[in-house]
Amino acid sequence: MRNYDFAPLYRSMIGFDHMASLLDSATRTSQKQPSYPPYNIEQFDDDHYQISMAVAGFEESELVISSEYNTLIVEGKKEADENEHNFIHQGIAARNFRHSFQLAEHVKITTADLKNGLLYLNLVREIPEEMKPRQVKIGLTKAEQPELAEQKVKAVA
């Protein structure tokens, strides 16, 4: 495995220390990422994503989905089976799991659906209006740039 030096990023990314730290820690822990349950991450457009997780054997009541700060956590807590089984082959894993996903800023989970053993988590990135890019003309006062004055009024309200 290669080791990457992210030190140059720290020098050129002002205010993005958290992102550089995430990149750095991701390369160190990439070998330790859980592979159960298997999952896909799909991007539909710039602002819409979907995580699909194979959770065969789990019921809705055994799955817990939570979000705190920029982390999405999916937990599967399988209740103990009181019946004794004598498996000849057991290929379907029904063990407890906890999987976390680091989300970018302003990414929120919108819906969660369980269909045919797959858990679908739909996410959307909603950037606040005051944080969207805007054009500022050089040499004009606030009175001559009504869109800047409007944005400040919206931010205060």
Read off the pLDDT of residues 86-131 as tens digits, 9 standing for 90 and up. Answer: 888 878 777 889 988 888 888 889 999 999 989 999 998 887 777 7
pTM > 0.75: yes or no: no
| CB-based contact 106:129 (threshold 8 Å) | no
Do 63 and 14 belong to one domain? no
Do 77 and 149 belong to one domain? no
Do 80 and 118 belong to one domain? yes
Residue 15 has pLDDT above 50, yes or no: no
- Average pLDDT in the chain: 75
One-letter amino acid at 17 equals: D
Beta strands 97-102 and 107-115, pairing class: unpaired
Structural domain tally of the chain?
3
Among 139, 106, 145, CA closest to 124: 106
Q: Can you give the pLDDT at residue 134?
A: 78
- The residue whose two tokens read 């080791």 is 3
